[in-house]
Amino acid sequence: MAYAAAMAGIHERYERLLEAGLALAADLSLPATLQRIVELAAGLTGARYGALGVLGRDGTISELITTGVSDTDRAAMGHVPHGRGILGVLIHDARPLRLHDLATDPRSVGLPPGHPPMRTFLGVPVMVRGRVYGNLYPTEKHGGEDFDADDERALTLLAGQAGAAIEAAQLYEEASDRAQRLEAVREITTAILAGTDTGELLGLVVGHARALVGADLATLALPVDDQRLAVEAADGLLADELGGTVFPAEGSVTGEVLLTGKAVVLADAGQRPPHRPADRRRPGRAGGVRPPGRARPHPGHPDGGQPGRGRAAA
């Protein structure tokens, strides 16, 4: 009877793995795929919590997708873990890892304040295109039991399916992005050939720029004279207020781009280009897309780097 029950359990688990593979293959949205993988990992192994630590280019955890952890707990934990301790072990030695108690392992650096208590642990790497994309780790198996060899095998199989699903979602996103860029070029080129009004054309450019990078705001500024720039087109958050704003070229991101002829990328919009003084600005008045030469004189523009997120300057 015990043998029959065990075989039935194994059969059920592998049926769930087959269903999981089909479900993952059907979803081409990467965020949805990652969340589904974590939920499947916790369900297959009988874990209370599950997580997928996505690795950045520097080999540290850049994103953490979880299940079983409340929003309150996530807020209490603060930043994404850097990948030290046990998580670092998985990053540097991409092999399955089972632990009876996280706290007693000598490699553990402990849990951050506000973190839910976790004891039992199972970690398995997820490979995509021949490299480690991240690590799956369900924790705190229901009933207080340890994760066993069957849990490890099931999670390893799921990780293989996850890698294929992530690759498919990435390829789909890349193809979609490429198609979106081509459509933007086609629409702008058509507008130029049709002799579209300059103001409308610039509005079309910033609209596509914002959509392509997923920004909250995109602006396009042109020189008024040797010292000043003017926002000739804006799209997105506060676009009406920023249209027509005049601001000093010195110390602004757009001014730095025009001076050097190179792209400037800021991880934090509060940063400023090196060796440039900060602008003194105040909020701009209502405006919109204005053709060149008709910009209102005004010192305010977020181009110099006021705090914010997802802004793009065209």
Q: Virtual CA dihedral for 149, 150, 156, 162, nearest 10 degrees?
A: -150
Please report the sign of the dihedral spanned by the C-alpha atoms of residue 26, residue 29, residue 31, residue 34: positive
Q: What fold is seen in the domain 2-173?
A: Beta-Lactamase (3.30.450)
pTM of the entire structure? Answer: 0.61
CATH number of 196-313: 3.30.450
**In whole angstroms, what is the distance from residue 256 CA to residue 11 CA?**
63
- pLDDT at residue number 21: 66
- Write down how long the chain is: 314
Q: 76-100 burial string, b = 16+ CB within 10 Å, else e? A: ebeeebebebbbbbbbeebebbbbe
- pLDDT at residue number 218: 92
pLDDT in tens, the chain (314 residues): 544 444 445 556 666 776 766 666 666 788 888 999 999 999 999 999 999 999 888 888 888 899 998 777 777 666 666 667 788 888 888 899 999 988 888 787 667 666 777 889 999 999 998 889 999 999 999 888 999 999 999 999 999 988 888 988 888 888 988 999 999 999 999 999 999 999 899 999 999 999 998 889 999 998 998 889 999 899 998 888 888 889 998 888 888 888 888 888 876 666 554 444 334 333 333 334 444 444 444 433 445 443 333 444 44
- Asked whether this chain's domains 2-173 and 196-313 adopt the same fold, the reply is yes
What amino acid is encoded at 258 in this protein?
Answer: L
**Per the structure block, which two tokens stand in for 46?**
């009988």
- C-beta separation of 301 from 310 below 8 A: no
**In whole angstroms, what is the distance from residue 172 CA to residue 177 CA?**
9
Where are the domains positioned within the chain?
A: 2-173, 196-313
**In whole angstroms, what is the distance from residue 66 CA to residue 50 CA?**
6
**In whole angstroms, what is the distance from residue 245 CA to residue 286 CA?**
9
Q: What is the DSSP letter of 102?
A: G
